[in-house]
A and B are shown apart, each in its own frame.
Chain A
Amino acid sequence: MIHVDTYEKWWIAISVAVVAIFFATITISSAAMGYQLPYSAQLVNPNTVATTGTFAEPGLRELAPGKYEAVIRAGAKPWVFTPNELKVPVGSQVTFIVTSQDVQHGFLVENTNVNAMLLPGRVTTLTHTFNTPGTYHYLCTEYCGLGHQYMFGTITVE
């Protein structure tokens, strides 16, 4: 074995402990507390997504009292989310179901943990409960062409 200085042994032990605690924390927060990453096995055809299937009729649907599903399509040229305006009551739980009809886009809802990639052919799903009234923008966070900086929508929570 190699010689390791006493202080360095302590440093290594503390480093390993800190990293282990961090990792346990994120694992628990994800497995037990609902802070989950977006994954969906669902595949769609990006070339026909605007005309057939769920994404042909995007918009907000109430599934149960206080529970909503927001189906949104992202596209470039023109750079828009369809729809780009949503309105829900305070306390609503909204599941965002989003896809891209062309290039890669991003989807971030301000002041929430809703933040994910939108890829053509894939469906991105994330849920958030809006407990504070106000206006929340959702915006594209991945470079998608010349009009990227104008690509956004608005959620009104009242």
Chain B
Amino acid sequence: MLASEKRLVGWHMVVAIVALFVGSLFGPMQGLEHAGVDMYTPLQDAGLLQSYYQGLSLHGVLNALIWTTFFITGFLTLVTVNSLQTPIRFPWLSWAAFGTMVVGLLVAAVPLLLNQASVLYTFYPPMQAPWYYYLGLVVFVVGSWMTGWSLIATYMKWHGENKGKTAPLLALASIITVVLWQVCTLGVAVEILALIMPWTLNILPGIDSELARTFFWFTGHPLVYFWLLPAYISWYGMMPKQVGGKLFSMPLAYLAFWLFLVLSTPVGFHHQYVDPGVPDFWKWAHALLTYGVFFPSLLTAFNVIASLEIGGRANGGKGVLGWIPKLPWGNPSVAAQLLAMIVFAFGGIGGLINASYNVNLVVHNTAWVPGHFHTTVGTGVTLTFMGILYWMVPYLTGRKLWNPRLAVAQAWTWAIGVVVFSTAMHRLGLLGAPRRTMLGAAIEAYGSNDWRIWTILTATGGIIMFVALVMFIAVVVMTAFRSKERVEVQMPVAEAYEQPLAIPAWLSNWRPWLAATIVLVLLSYGPILVQMIANVQLVSPGFRVW
């Protein structure tokens, strides 16, 4: 990878890590509020933060959207270039993409910081932020598309020079991820450009919140896979190498990524099971497809664990489970990702519960849901990204990782924190505590005393996670600026266990998979969207309720 390309990726990581840090500042404050300790009044008095919900909006946007997207666009650039051994085809496009994302972020940050956009990261209409908040979000997403275009152009160039060759898993999976992002973000683009922006500018008389929600969740669920697939890229394509193993089944790894492309988008109604305006048949059809997307996840579970087992046995592990302690737990990159996988397994089970149609009635919009997604995007993804950074920062800077033992301790601290936090939040949800709510205040108003112990554990877990975050920041900052020892690090690339390796043509051909993606989207959304648009109710004016 060229020095200029490393610089490009490095800048992505700088913005991502700053966003993660700033967004995470609110986490312990939210937990403490639940436990009855108010940190907001002094901040209000100082004029720094107007409300819990302004803080929650910043927490969601910075951690779920900005940290993830900047990390992912930078990481996929690194993976594609290294995997194809081809420089970026149009470096100016990648830099322009980065610049566009930063501009979008800055434009959206202004109303967020001025308490004009305390609408949380879902910005459900008819709550209304100023038009330029939504414009900032659109510009940000367009920037992320441009990174995708740059990577696709690079892949096409490689393809032209390597006729008949199958692209390596790492590169193909990266391109699948950016293509998925192009397809699925059409929903939120339509929501903002066709509904929200004209409504904020008084061109439309009102807004239909059910239709807006439907476009939002068209993007909202595949967004989850946009976060997750880069973690899977590392688990499938890098981790086996890092633990001294091999990728157990290379063809099934290709298959899993293709299935994620096809099945990630036509499932959005599983976020709208309890919406009044979506007919049951469509909810049921999306439930079926959501169960479908569980299949590649199960393929992944087997394949990744089998690959790790090969490594553990190569290191001398014996017996059914004896290979597990033989994995290189002392390597912080490995430890972080193994712990991320373990926590994520529970996130997957919880996700199946959420997705189970009428079972959703038990948990919908309760504290269970943030409990769930801190095990998925908050750990399965975030702790994996931290683990990746433990080799990526040395790779980019040429400096040896500072204090690897602290980094290992960081991963364990995060995992312990999230287990405490998420267990408590799941319990609160089952007790009926709502999500996105000042639970400390709600307990005083109507909540049950049974909630109290779990709110204290929520605060405890959140604080432990924040301590782990500070440890993470210390390790990466010290590595980048203080580490003296120079190192040459390579991107880990897993080899296939099966030799000779044969990837059949149907696993390297885009046409059937792209066609299936488009057909499934049209079938699962087409008829109901036509019906909803034909009966559109542009009635709601904008509200500012914060």
Contact = CB atoms under 8 A, between A and B. Distances in A.
B127 A103 contact: yes
Interface bin, chain B: 35 or more
B249 A5 contact: yes
Contacts of A4: 249, 252
Contacts of A8: 248-249, 252, 302-303, 306
Nearest to A25: B356
A22 B292 CA distance: 12
Contacts, number: 204
A40 B276 contact: yes
Interface stretch (A50-58, A63-71, A87-95, A118-126): A118-126
Nearest to A148: B437
A76 B274 contact: no
B276 A11 contact: no
Contact of A12 (B299, B435, B504, B507): B299
Interface string B487-526: 0000000000010000010010000000000000000000
B291 A122 contact: no
A60 interface: no
B358 A36 contact: yes
Contacts of B434: 106, 108, 139-142
Nearest to A8: B302
Given A22-B291, A141-B365, A122 B276 contact: yes
Interface string B30-53: 000000000000000000000101
B441 A145 contact: no
B142 interface: no
A61 B32 CA distance: 42
Interface bin, chain A: 35 or more
A156 B279 CA distance: 32
Given A3-B498, A26-B356, A37-B361, A143 B251 contact: no
Nearest to B369: A141
Contacts of A149: 437-439, 441-442, 445
Contacts of B288: 23
A115 B540 contact: no
A36 B273 CA distance: 10
Given A8-B249, A19-B291, A37-B283, A116 B274 contact: yes
B120 interface: yes
Interface string B410-454: 000000000000000000000010111111011001101000000
Contacts of A106: 364-365, 434
A2 B494 CA distance: 19
B539 interface: yes
Interface string A77-94: 100000000000000000
28 contacts: A12-B298, A15-B298, A19-B291, A30-B280, A35-B358, A37-B360, A39-B283, A40-B276, A40-B277, A43-B537, A102-B543, A103-B545, A104-B127, A104-B209, A115-B364, A117-B272, A117-B274, A117-B365, A121-B208, A122-B276, A139-B446, A141-B434, A143-B53, A143-B437, A145-B53, A145-B545, A145-B546, A146-B53
Top 3 nearest A-B pairs by Cβ distance?
A: A145-B545, A141-B365, A2-B251
Given A2-B255, A35-B361, 7 more contacts: A5-B249, A39-B283, A103-B124, A115-B364, A120-B540, A140-B434, A149-B438
